[in-house]
Structure 1
């Protein structure tokens, strides 16, 4: 079992990424037909860049971590039994394919509601070894509105340019979750901002080729789990391997992973970390293909719901 402690030393030092850097070439044209075979999420890279740029962010993150570690799930107070999050979808498009349909957007909202409420049909596939920790998070999402904007840009990168005046600025980010849909490029399916960051950039970004279950949704990322993964980050979940070899995701009931898993690993997949636990490759915060992801844990649930309690970073959503 892992201690719920925040290792700030791991994120105080930011060094530029080499081939995985998604900022230097944001203005370079890229092939908008790019299709990737492995899940790529830039949340950790964006987080490290924000830490380097904002000397006050680390302290806010530490407060959020302390609040999460003290939160008692049994005392959670939800509005009408659950948290309801309005979602503003910001579609930025250059091509007809990028201007995804309302039906594709709604299919993603439907997936989020199933995944965060244990109503996904594959929830029944959770192995018995994890049955005692699998969770119904109890968060619902409602489509608030869809905003669309034509922009003559082939890709956006991960510098939050889609959230500025060139794209669409965040709408009421303290009470609505903003979801930007656009072509990101560089093999990135999506990224999110952890709680504690600036309101102007708060939200989730998902590439239009990997949103929802219809339209442009592209196999093996055509079941809407990219958004589930990124919303998990927006709700303060880390990658299950802690973005380090045998690292910590700050959750006590998830096994220690060597690193990210890809494809759909054959169960049981054992870690070589201390204790050689069976890895939870089906957890939404791993990198498995969409069809291989289908569960959150109670520890992750507690971490997410702590945000909506008094003093929590997303308490304004619970009012």
Structure 2
């Protein structure tokens, strides 16, 4: 659900290693209190011996460059949470089997720019338009020859601007109030919120399955400096938006469930033990499974310049989620 900046080099990696070691020896790792009581999944052990490695479930530790960064919306999905989302999806899509499922003509987008009184975060209109262009190119398969054309397109319908120092710097703490006050449209309207999300955190999103129980909270939040030209090192080409919209449309991370079945619930994305950092092309973290790691897939944690495509299986899955929950 959450995309974090993996910058921090070996320090960030070793934090993940140590926390996984603690978890395996019985220490409970607590998440910040604003995570609504979510359980922390253990991080991964990186070392020799494939079987033992696969027992370490995906978790947030190895993706936090700043250990104090708050992780909203429950943090990384545990295998149990992902399985429950998939159960709800399969139940909702069952009546649609045998019917032709098509993406919408265009997804209306409302962007809510939250800025500080000194002008920080006041994203200019040109960069917002560039972000919509990035979404359209990515979801049409325009960044790579192997990229799937998902059939989804996005149309900017409105931009709201709110100047509020507290909301800008403490979005995670006030997110429920912010979204309840600003959100527009129905289940098929994409609401994007930009603000300062804090050190290390790039963005987060709700899932389609969440809409019925909390429609006023539906949407995507991204750090204002991750929009195209925003200046976030390694992450300012707009693909945090691409990634988080993928969650909003129903996709899990490519590294969901690590090397264990059913992975990310998409057949044509290879298994991946852990999130990618930078652009480790050719990495094969699940050698017992077919295929190299999908490090250039938009649902990974790679640098923006490394991300290039969705797969045909992901395209089918988001169209089915749209028909089941957002059409």
Q: TM-score, normalised by structure 1?
A: 0.72
Q: Can you list the C-alpha shifts for 1:269-307, whole angstroms capped at 9, x where unaligned?
A: 112352363111000001000000001011111110002
Which is richer in helix? 2
Which residue number corresponds to residue 223 of structure 1? Answer: 237
Alpha-carbon spacing, 1:70–1:285, altered in 2? closer, same or farther (3 Å): farther
Distance 1:181 1:110 in 2: 17
C-alpha spacing 1:119/1:250, structure 2 compared with 1 (3 Å) = same
Could you report, residue by residue, the CA deviation over 1:179-204 in whole angstroms, capped at 9, with x for unpaired residues?
00011114110000011211111010
Which residue in the other structure is 1:149 paired with?
A: 162
SS state of the match for residue 196, structure 1? helix
Match 1:202 to one of 210, 218, 229: 218
1:257 equivalenced with 2:257 (yes/no): no
Kept in 2: contact 1:173–1:203 (CA 8 A) = no
Residue from 123, 126, 134 that aligns with 1:103:
126
Contact in 2 for aligned 1:44/1:243 (Cα 8 Å): no
Match of 1:192 in 2: 205
Q: How many residues get paired?
A: 264
CA shift, 1:97, in A, is: 2.8
SS in structure 2 at match of 1:100:
coil
Q: State whether residues 90 and 148 of structure 1, in contact with CA within 8 Å, keep that contact through their aligned partners in structure 2.
A: yes
Structure 2 residue runs of 5 or longer lacking an equivalent are 1-27, 36-63
1: distance between equivalents of 2:70 and 2:314? 19
TM-score by length of 2: 0.70
Tell me the residue number matched to 2:106: 84
Using the alignment, how far apart are the partners of 2:236 and 2:86 within structure 1?
33
- RMSD of aligned C-alpha atoms? 3.4
Relative to structure 1, is the Cα distance of residues 135 and 165 closer, same or farther in structure 2, using a 3 angstrom cutoff? closer
Q: Are the counterparts in 1 of residues 270 and 290 from structure 2 also a CA contact under 8 Å?
A: no
Q: 1:69, 1:252 → 2: CA distance?
A: 19
Displacement of 1:75: 2.9
